[in-house]
Structure formats: structure tokens, C-alpha cells
Amino acid sequence: MRSQSLMKSTILLVVVVASTVLCWELYWRSHGYEISYDDTPSMWADKRKRVYEPSESSTVFIGGSRIKYDIDINTWQQITGQHAIQLGCVGSTPLPVLVNLADDSKFKGRLVIDVTETLFFSPSDAQRPKEGIKYYDEETPAQWASFHVNHLLESQFVFLDKESLSLGAILDHLPLQNRPGVFHFAGFPPEFERMSFERQQNMTNRFSADTAQRNTVIKIWKMFDSDTSFRPTNGKKLDSIFNLVKTSIDKIKARGGDVIFVRPPSTGSYLARENKYYPRALYWDKLLQITGCPGIHYQDYPSISNLNCPEESHLDLAGAKIFTTHLIDLLKEKGWVFSYSK
């Protein structure tokens, strides 16, 4: 191809790509989408690096998705003057992260552990935290630099949202009939998951107000319910989990750290299944008894016992603000001191 033709092709390329990207971006913005970050191992590792801040200036949160939806980081930081370091992982047990922090002699801070029984007592759901820890341990200079360039781009473009708006995610939502017996999880509705750079997740107002979208997610919870990993862990396996948790917490406490368990709200049929499979006395109460740690179970406190979970498992942003505000008060009651507090 002659050089002149190539130059014309290149100019056409630039015009077509720039205009397509611009239209694509405007399209999603016109549909009410806002900036959302991908919850990647590099993002987790970036937050993991911050756990060494002194306990007066930060608190670390670990657990599943509930802690990510239910703690409103802005509210937390405004009231306590502390950083909230969010290390929760969607759909995952917090145990690998707890062990990782316990084995890190430099970590001496405050730790809030979300106890979502179906995840906490299901060690098989550990892929995401393990990936995050591996990434944190093995991050290369190139990955570190790429993460920061990526952050720069993600903070500008709404369409850069792999979970919801990428080619793969959109293809996954095509209504294609599968063969009988094929398990297919197309992902959550895009408006269910928006994530901040601090790794807080929240559902959009449109999601909270849309019964159809809420029911879609409730159906997904029921589908997960049929998964055997939802079934309660008991016997020796449960004892080993209790032992692991106790050993890890003892290590953190021995270094001067503080640990507290929190059971965030759930409602409706989801709560009914949790109560059925994970009776409080055998799991939550026993966990506190064995570890000797304080705990805050939402059902024990009227201020947070009646919060509404739009899809039965997570709070919306308004609920998260209320929950976070009251959680701080309850933590103070448990003896936590915040140097700056509104």
C-alpha cells in the first residue's frame, strides 16, 4: 500500500475510532450510568497496601459483598475522620484475607469482619481473595504502573466497565436458549453493581426502584441456593474454621490490633434460608464464644434491625449511610475510640 493511501487510512481510523468511542460514552451517560471501577485483583492489592496505616487513622473491612455495599465509606470517613480500607470480596469467604493479615506482622490495626454465614463458613468460595493476595504478593512494576494508567482512564470513561459494559458482558446477556443441564450465569443487571475507587459497591437508585431488576437478583440468590456450597458446614470442617479464625485473630490481637465481627442485614426469603441453614446459636453465637471477640448482629439493635434490603441481601446507598452511622455508634459502645468524631 502506498504511503499516501496509508496516511488517508490512518486519518479515517482516527476519526472513526474517536467518534465511535465518543458516541458510545455519551450513550451510556445518557442512560444514567456513572463512573464505575472494575473490581480487579490489582484494585484489591492497591487497597491491601494501605493496611499499615496506624489504627487511629484507618479501619480495615473484610468479608463478602455485604460489607462492600453496606459500609458507606464517605459517611464513615466524615464521621470518624478515619480511612475505611475495603478488602471485602464479592461472593467470597473472608478467611484467606484474615489469615493473610494475621500472618503479616506489620498489620496492627483495626479489623471489621463481615459474617455472611453462607460465605464465611464456606471456604470453597475463596477464588477472588486468593487472586487478590497472589497479585499483592507478586505485583510487578509493570502491573503497578498499568494499574495507575488504568485508573486514570477508568475515572474518565463510563463505558470502561468490564463487568457490565464490555463486549463479553453484553454478549453474555444475549437471550440464547441453552441445552438442558447447562449452568449459565449471565451476571447481575448492570445497575446493580457500581463500584467506587475505594471499592465501595452500591446499587443505583434506578435499580432500587425497579421491581423487575430487584426480582432478577432475588432469583439469582435462589439459584445460588441450589448450589451445594450454600449448605451448612458442620462437624470437623466447622471446627477447623473456628480454630483458624481464632488463631488468626489471636495473632492480630497479640500485636495490639482490634477485631470485631459484624453481621449485616438481610431480609425476606434470603434471611429465611440463612436462618434455616445457619441457626444463630450454632454459628454466630459460637463464633463469638470461641474467638472471644465482640460482635454486632444487626438483629440485636433496633436502630439497624429494620433496614430494607431491596434485593434481600444488600442495602442501597441510603440504607448504607444509616447502617454506617449507627455502626460507628455501636463500635464506640464496644469501646472503639475514634480520635476525630462528629
Partner 1 sequence: MVFNSYIFIVFFAVILALHYLPLHWNVKKVNLLLASYIFYAAWNPPFILLLWMSTVIDYFVGRALYTQPDGYKKKLLLVVSLIGNLGMLCFFKYGGFLLDNFVTIVNVFGWDFHPAKPDIILPAGISFYTFTTLCYTIDMYEKKSEPVKSLLDFSLFVTFFPHLVAGPIVRPPQLVPQFESERKATQQQLLEGLFLVSLGLFMKVVLADSMLSSIANDVFSSGGSLPALDAWMGVLAFSGQIFFDFAGYSTCAIGVAASLGFVLPQNFLYPYGAVGFSDFWRRWHITLSAWLRDYLYIPLGGNRQGKFRTYVNLMVTMLLGGLWHGANWTFVVWGGLHGFYLWVEKAIVDFRKDRVPSIASVPSAEVGVLGAQPEQFKLKTVRNFFIALFTFFLINVTWVFFRATTFTQAWNLLKSMFGLASGSPMLTTLAIIKVSVIVSLMVITHWLMRNTKVLDVAAKLSWWSFGLVWAFMIIVLIWSQESSSSFIYFQF
Q: In the complex, which residues of this chain contact partner 1 (CB under 8 A)?
A: 1-3, 5-13, 16-17, 20-21, 24, 38, 140-143, 145-146, 149-150, 153, 159-162, 165-168, 171-172, 174, 176-184
Q: Kindly state the smallest distance separating residue 297's Cβ from partner 1, in Å.
A: 38
Q: Kindly state the smallest distance separating residue 154's Cβ from partner 1, in Å.
A: 10
For residue 113, give the C-alpha cell.
469482619
Q: Kindly state the smallest distance separating residue 15's Cβ from partner 1, in Å.
A: 8
Q: Kindly state the smallest distance separating residue 128's Cβ from partner 1, in Å.
A: 16
CB 41 within 8 A of CB 134: yes
For residue 11, give the C-alpha cell.
486519518
For residue 209, give the C-alpha cell.
426502584
- Strand 201-202 versus strand 194-195 pairing type: antiparallel
Q: Kindly state the smallest distance separating residue 223's Cβ from partner 1, in Å.
A: 15
Which of 314, 312, 327, 233 lies closest to 279, judged by CA?
233
Q: Which is nearer to partner 1, 157 or 301 (CB)?
A: 157
Cα 274 from Cα 284, distance rounded (Å): 11
Q: Which is nearer to partner 1, 159 or 336 (CB)?
A: 159
Q: Which is nearer to partner 1, 159 or 301 (CB)?
A: 159
CB 76 within 8 A of CB 342: no
**Residue 235: exposure state from Cβ atoms within 10 A (0-12, 13-18, ≥19):** exposed
Q: Kindly state the smallest distance separating residue 27's Cβ from partner 1, in Å.
A: 12
**Residue 43: exposure state from Cβ atoms within 10 A (0-12, 13-18, ≥19):** buried
Cα 209 from Cα 266, distance rounded (Å): 18
Cα 96 from Cα 129, distance rounded (Å): 6
Q: Kindly state the smallest distance separating residue 148's Cβ from partner 1, in Å.
A: 8
| One-letter amino acid of 148 | H
- Strand 295-297 versus strand 194-195 pairing type: unpaired
